[in-house]
Amino acid sequence: MSYPSALHDVLDRVIVPAGELARQEGKFPRAAVTALGRAGLLGLTCSAEPAGRGADLARAAEVVAQVLPVCPAMAAVLQSHYAAAAVVGASGGRWLRGEVAAGRHLCTLAVVEDGAGGAVRSTARRTGGVVALRARKRDVVAAGEADSYVWSSPPVASGGGLTLWGVPAHAPGLFVPARATGVPLASATSTVVADPVRVPVEAVLGADGEGFEVLLGAVLPWLLELCAVVGSDAVHPSLGALARSASGAARTGDGQAFAASSAMALR
């Protein structure tokens, strides 16, 4: 089945009713996530080998644009998932790439630092083959619902830059605090805390200290395509700062300017 046909089927059968529950009860659209995965739409942009559809980013943006009017919560989840999947596709290990491509794995970005209440900035400490990541990330879409997080930290080695990690949601030391208002958001956008979370050094996405380069090469094209198709006002706030920086970088061709203007939000 072609992706437009698959999307039309899932929209009618699952996403429309999920959108109603999201609006009325603030319920995370889990049924929609599952249906999109089975239809091959979570792995839409992943390589056709072994399981993805190999579609371009314009197709993914079209999916978000069609989902947005009927279920804004699911659209927000897809925005962050496709951005994270681009990082995984560029730098993730074989198993993780395969799971995302097969639609069995929902991933999301956790790259915006929460500085409220004097929170400690991200740290990354290596002991042998394990890295302890400590941070408090805000505006994480699908917090507590995703299978893994694309997580940012300072480099393990000394020096500047940024490092990205694939952090499993079930990893000990990772948790989602209760919302102060007690009112859930249907997109499950919340804070995620690592206190600390320990991951193997092999969980790194790209080289240590080269996370900005990964973001420029993988997430930048997605954000520009998404803004072009759905409009910047429809981009989830957690991606807004990145989108604005990405637009400036695209105009100037200056990746270093993007890195510098995004540093405050990402670390």
Residue 158 DSSP code? S
Output the average pLDDT for the chain: 84
pLDDT of residue 213: 87
Which two structure tokens, joined as six digits, stand for 79? 């925005």
**Separation CA 162–CA 152 (nearest Å):** 7
* Between 242 and 113, the higher pLDDT residue: 113
**Separation CA 131–CA 156 (nearest Å):** 8
Are the C-beta atoms of 41 and 7 separated by less than 8 Å? Answer: yes
What is the pLDDT averaged over residues 26-52?
Answer: 85
E strands in 211-263: none
pLDDT of residue 256: 45
* Between 265 and 176, the higher pLDDT residue: 176
Parallel/antiparallel/unpaired status of strands 107-110 and 148-153:
parallel
Q: How far is CA 59 from CA 15, 43, 237, in A?
A: 18, 12, 22
Q: How confident is the model at residue 173 (pLDDT cuts 50, 70, 90)?
A: very high
Q: Looking at the predicted structure, is the pLDDT value of residue 140 above 80? A: yes
Q: Which of 8-12, 198-202, 252-256 has the highest mean pLDDT?
A: 198-202
Q: What is the pTM of this model?
A: 0.88
pLDDT of residue 137: 92
pLDDT digits (tens, 9 = 90+) for 69-108: 999 999 999 999 999 999 999 899 989 999 999 999 999 9
Query: Going by C-beta distance under 8 Å and a sequence separation of 6 or more, which residues neighbour residue 233?
Result: none
Q: Looking at the predicted structure, is the pLDDT value of residue 52 above 60? A: no
Comparing C-alpha atoms, which of 138, 115, 147, 123 is closest to residue 238? 138
Q: Reduced to 3 states, what is the DSSP secondary structure of residue 218?
A: helix
Buried b (16+ CB within 10 A) or exposed e, 78-106: bbbbbbbbbbbbbbbeeebbbbbbbbebb
